[in-house]
A and B are shown apart, each in its own frame.
Chain A
Amino acid sequence: MLNLTDVHVSYGTTPILHDIDITVDSEEIVGIMGKNGVGKTTLIKAVMGLLEVDTGTITFDGDDVTSTGADVRARRGMGYIPQGRDVFPELTVEENLRMGETIHAADNSLQYEAVYDYFPILTERRTQTAGTLSGGQQQLLAIGRALIGNPKLLVLDEPSEGVQPSIVQDITRDLQRVNEELETTIIFVEQNLHVVQHLAERCYAIDKGMIVDELGSDRLDSREAVTEYLAV
């Protein structure tokens, strides 16, 4: 479904990511864990097409998208949830969700039902501007907005950031449900132990811009194996 092969990314002349090889299969939930500043957001932006790669290839759903812009990748089925609950603060909840239609202009009604069903709080807050929601609610809105486009792949940048621990557990469960019921493939980056252990079926570890390990479900169950790569 998603393949990164030998990907290198830099900011200007500063190299950030080296030799990245990542594979995500259809309907899989794959995590990438790492501490602050190791290159997680850079990696997610390269996947989404918001940053160009220096060398290497990215294929998505059978197509080479290495030099395709983010807007085109979104329309091909990538749904992006940026770091820091990045909703459009001055648009209402409803308008934020309608942004999702941009991706998928065809019939979205089923998708709206699904989103309101997963996140009933968004129905109540429909006419409120998104900037007035709590951190957790904004994160739900960002996820819901991405889902309206009916993506094949959800791309999440630290969904737990700025969200209370109890809500983090809810979001983790919601994402699992989305994966099962809507058959959405998920790739996320995180440094939150709970999300890494409970959401990922498989997880890469990233440090200083390189993939340094890959953990299957057995090793993900072990707290020590995981915390080695996190600042816990």
Chain B
Amino acid sequence: MNGYELLNVTFQFLESFAFIVLATVGLAVIFGMMGIINLAHGEFILVGAYATTLSAHQGLPLPVAMLVGVVATTIFGIVLERTIIRRLYGRLLDSMVATFGISLVLVQLTRILFGNSIDQVSTPFGAISYGSYSYSLYRVLLAGAAIATLLVLYILFTRTAFGIRARATIQDEETARSMGVDTDRMYMSTFAIGSALAGLTGALYAPARASPTPEFGSEFLVDAFVAVVVGGPSVLVGTPLAGGFLGLIEAFFTFQWTQFIGTVAMLVAAIVMIRLLPDGFSGLVESVRTSWRESE
């Protein structure tokens, strides 16, 4: 492997890492914090991507259009939470059926309203060239966006009063309420954060993939669900580790062979991981921490 090739694999890795992390965070927050498996996660991303693309078509600068995408998805998530999801807390199967239904409706609705595809916004920043290779700078910078997102989530959930209340509510709702927490509002806010994250993913990838279609969101689903399972229950620990691990495997196999082989390798690795670590990376980290504490 020469220097250019190494650079190529590195970029490939950064791109896979960013894709996996950004595809996963929204799903992981809603699952990890509220125990809801949101099968409409892909369509939340879809809403973000369409709102971004359509407002860019209206002449808004791309960063503003992306903000519109995030805000639109957040509002969309809050409306859905207030009308449907809130009735389904603690009912895993019902919530899966309901969100699956929402997903189907949204895909068809998008097709009816906007047709089979809409024009893509062009990718900003151009390309980096080296040797006989070139790589889209924007797609590499997405890795920075993924890391920034994880950092913000880390600070939000561990360093702020909101985060402490949110984690307390998950651990023991009744006691949290008796400590003055409006738990109903807490669930709504957490769901809104998960929706905003999915919207951000849609906004960031709207200019970075092919022209958005009604199936835009489903392209993120495999990576998202695989990463949630491999990452395990703790979002903050599990998502970055899963993104790093799966991204590395995908990048290597894609570089050596093809994108298809890369995806297959990632899925095989995920299946092996689930056999070895049923609680995912965050379960592993937890048990290592416990054994350290005991040896102290």
Contacts and interface: CB of A to CB of B under 8 A. Distances in A.
Given A101-B161, A132-B293, A71 B168 contact: no
Given A102-B161, A102-B165, A80 B171 contact: no
A102 B162 CA distance: 9
A143 to B, nearest CB: 13
Interface residues of B, number: 18
A74 B171 contact: no
A86 B176 CA distance: 10
A171 B192 CA distance: 42
Given A89-B171, A99-B164, A48 B181 contact: no
Nearest to A51: B174
Contact of B168 (A73, A75, A82, A88): A88
Contacts of B94: none
Given A88-B175, A90-B171, A98 B180 contact: no
A2 interface: no
A73 B216 CA distance: 47
A149 B180 contact: yes
B179 A102 contact: yes
Contacts of B167: 88, 90-91, 95
Contacts of B179: 71, 74, 80, 99-100, 102-103, 145-146, 149
A70 interface: yes
A132 B289 CA distance: 12
B2 interface: no
A82 B180 contact: no
Nearest to B164: A95
Interface in A97-154: 98-103, 132, 145-146, 149
B178 interface: yes
A57 B161 CA distance: 34
Interface string A82-94: 1000101111000
B180 A75 contact: yes
B186 to A, nearest CB: 10
Contacts of A146: 179
B180 A103 contact: yes
Nearest to B290: A132
B177 A98 contact: no
A50 interface: yes
A15 interface: no
Contacts of A80: 175, 178-179
B211 interface: no
Interface string B247-289: 0000000000000000000000000000000000000000000
CB-CB nearest 5 A-B residue pairs: A103-B180, A74-B180, A80-B178, A102-B180, A70-B177
Interface of B: 161, 164-165, 167-168, 171-172, 174-183, 293
